[in-house]
Chains A and B, each alone.
Chain A
Amino acid sequence: MKKSKLFYLVFFTVLSLFIFINKTDAKTITVHYNGSSRVATYNDIRNFMGYKYTVNGYNNQGNGSALNQMQNSAAFVVHNHGAAGRQQLDDSGTGIAGKGGNGTTWKNISSLSTNASKPLYIAIFYGCNTGTVSSTYGNITSQTTSKIAKAAVAWTISTYVVDVNLWNQYFFNRAKNNMSSTASAALTYADTTLAAASGAINATGMKNNRVTSGNFGWTFTQMSL
């Protein structure tokens, strides 16, 4: 065999192995959304993060695997209807709650085992009043960070699909373009850029009515490792 042929053979074998290892090691980002108006939330995350992560999108799919997905993802994002302490995942009305659900229609984050290593870097619950504390369903963000996540975000107002899609786009744009950014800096970036794009009223809603729990000092480089 000629030397050059041998070189190419070795090169492509190593390259294939590298791609295979990278692919199989890729962390997962899980995105639940509902309908064509909210699909942008999934599409933007896939476009920005797909080069590094396996991004799985679930349109209007129920809560059957949701808790398992939370335990096995680097980021878990939902964009759907919400209410105090809970978030819907499909039109038949199943979803996840901080606590107090019946375990079938509403699966409880409180039922998860505590994982001290906090493998889930961030959970984002885009929906109306998901961040409001309910006497029945509890606090969705603090339940999430107490069990498995480093950070969690939700809102205490009625959120609007267009604002959420844009905010989400800017947050993950930052995650891709500046991996040394902290999650905290990405929040600031998304708030400010949303105001630049669509005005201060909508951006103030998303910014000043956001509930956060956990630690936002980690970087997107750390999340990707």
Chain B
Amino acid sequence: MKKKIFKTLTFIGIATLFVTTVSAIDNSLELKKDISFLESKIEINYKENLGTENGSLLVYSDKEKNEFIYKDGDLVAYIANDSILSTTQKNSLDNKIDVNKKLIELETKASNYAKQLINAKKTSFDSYVLYDSAYLEATGEYSYTYLKMFDGILVNDGIMISINADGELITFSGAFQGKFDNYKNLKVDTVAVEKFIKDEMTKYFGTDKKCEYSVDKQYINYVNDELVLQIGINIIHEDGLQSTEVLNYKL
């Protein structure tokens, strides 16, 4: 009799645990999604969560093993499968005729991809500017970054596009689209920022100022849910070695 009760309780316990786990999974994430990506309808399946301090990054893949990364329900990255990546690495423009013409074509293609992907997020590509581009020899990628700027100050709302020598999309990543748009008319008090940097760096060095510093980059960002001007400081030490610090000026 005791054995029977024990067996029944064990069964109920396992069943409850199973149902709870399944419903928890169902509530927290979609295991399968049907999405539109660059005018194609694709079915993608959940693969893994690359959790970071900045939140969850949910990785999905399609049947060809291309990967799609979601953050807060938003598609923030696409990475072509390994077979495409390894082909990209082997091809370059070296074999192409009229390289300069081809480079212009590639930049136009990258910009078209960026436009399509930004439009899919129901926002406009118009306020983005080409911030940087490069050819990456180790991977064979032609890399283009488009960023938003408000009143001459960069905003952490950008899109990175990589294409191969044939103009095929290899990767895209774009987080925080439209997140700062309410601050388009924000005026940053440059004099106050300068004083803030000076004060903070004086605190940093103390009286023993044997290093020199300069502002490396600054852009509007969210840090711990606060709007800040994020300032990267490059420090040159006495022995010529360099390091960096980050200051956050609250806006």
- Indicate whether A and B interact: yes
Which residues of chain A have a CB within 8 Å of any CB of chain B? 81-83, 86, 88, 93, 127-129, 151, 153, 157-162, 166, 169-170, 173, 177-178, 180-185, 187-189, 191-193, 195-201, 203-205, 207-210, 212, 216-217
Q: Are A191 and B159 in contact (CB under 8 A)?
A: no
* Least Cβ–Cβ distance between B162 and chain A, in angstroms: 7
Q: Chain B 156-191, CB within 8 Å of chain A: the 1/0 string?
A: 111110100000001111111000000000000000
Task: Given the known inter-chain contacts A82-B242, A88-B241, please indicate yes or no for A188 contacting B171, CB distance below 8 A.
Answer: yes
Cα of A184 to Cα of B83 in the assembled complex, Å: 12
Say if the beta carbon of B86 comes within 8 Å of chain A: yes
Q: Are B52 and A166 in contact (CB under 8 A)?
A: yes
Residues of A within 8 A of B242 (CB): 81-83, 127-129, 158
Dominant SS at the B interface?
strand
Q: Are B156 and A189 in contact (CB under 8 A)?
A: no
Q: Are A193 and B136 in contact (CB under 8 A)?
A: no
Cα of A160 to Cα of B157 in the assembled complex, Å: 19
Q: Chain B 56-78, CB within 8 Å of chain A: the 1/0 string?
A: 01000000000001010000111
Q: Are B158 and A192 in contact (CB under 8 A)?
A: no
Q: Are A189 and B234 in contact (CB under 8 A)?
A: no
Say if the beta carbon of B248 comes within 8 Å of chain A: no
Residues of A within 8 A of B216 (CB): 157-158
Number of A-B contacts (CB under 8 A): 164
Cα of A180 to Cα of B244 in the assembled complex, Å: 35
Cα of A191 to Cα of B48 in the assembled complex, Å: 18
Residues of B within 8 A of A178 (CB): 82
Q: Are B52 and A180 in contact (CB under 8 A)?
A: no
Contact partner of B241 (CB less than 8 A), chosen from A81, A177, A181, A198, is A81
Q: Are B69 and A160 in contact (CB under 8 A)?
A: no
Q: Are A216 and B57 in contact (CB under 8 A)?
A: no
Cα of A203 to Cα of B76 in the assembled complex, Å: 13
> Which size bracket describes the interface of B in this complex?
35 or more
Please name 23 pairs of A and B residues whose Cβ atoms are closer than 8 Å in the assembled complex, sorted by A. Answer: A81-B243, A129-B242, A158-B232, A158-B234, A161-B244, A162-B246, A178-B82, A185-B82, A187-B136, A191-B160, A191-B171, A192-B78, A192-B160, A195-B158, A195-B173, A199-B156, A200-B156, A200-B160, A201-B154, A201-B158, A201-B217, A208-B133, A216-B89
Please, which residue of chain B has its CB at the minimum distance from the CB of A161? B244
Q: Are A201 and B219 in contact (CB under 8 A)?
A: yes
Q: Are A200 and B147 in contact (CB under 8 A)?
A: yes
Cα of A54 to Cα of B159 in the assembled complex, Å: 38
Of listed A86, A181, A189, A204, residue having the most chain B CB within 10 A: A204
Task: Given the known inter-chain contacts A200-B145, A208-B132, please indicate yes or no for A159 contacting B71, CB distance below 8 A.
Answer: no
Q: Are B162 and A188 in contact (CB under 8 A)?
A: yes
Interface residues of B in 97-156 (CB under 8 A from A): 131-134, 136-141, 143, 145-147, 154, 156
Residues of A within 8 A of B217 (CB): 201, 205
Q: Are A184 and B244 in contact (CB under 8 A)?
A: no
Say if the beta carbon of B85 comes within 8 Å of chain A: yes
Say if the beta carbon of B240 comes within 8 Å of chain A: yes
Contact partner of B77 (CB less than 8 A), chosen from A196, A209, A217, is A196
Cα of A182 to Cα of B163 in the assembled complex, Å: 18
Cα of A161 to Cα of B245 in the assembled complex, Å: 8
Q: Are B160 and A187 in contact (CB under 8 A)?
A: no
The 4 closest A-B pairs by CB, nearest first: A200-B158, A195-B173, A128-B242, A208-B134
Cα of A86 to Cα of B89 in the assembled complex, Å: 28
Please, which residue of chain B has its CB at the minimum distance from the CB of A213? B138
Q: Are A184 and B158 in contact (CB under 8 A)?
A: no
Q: Are A199 and B158 in contact (CB under 8 A)?
A: yes
Of listed A153, A170, A188, A207, residue having the most chain B CB within 10 A: A188
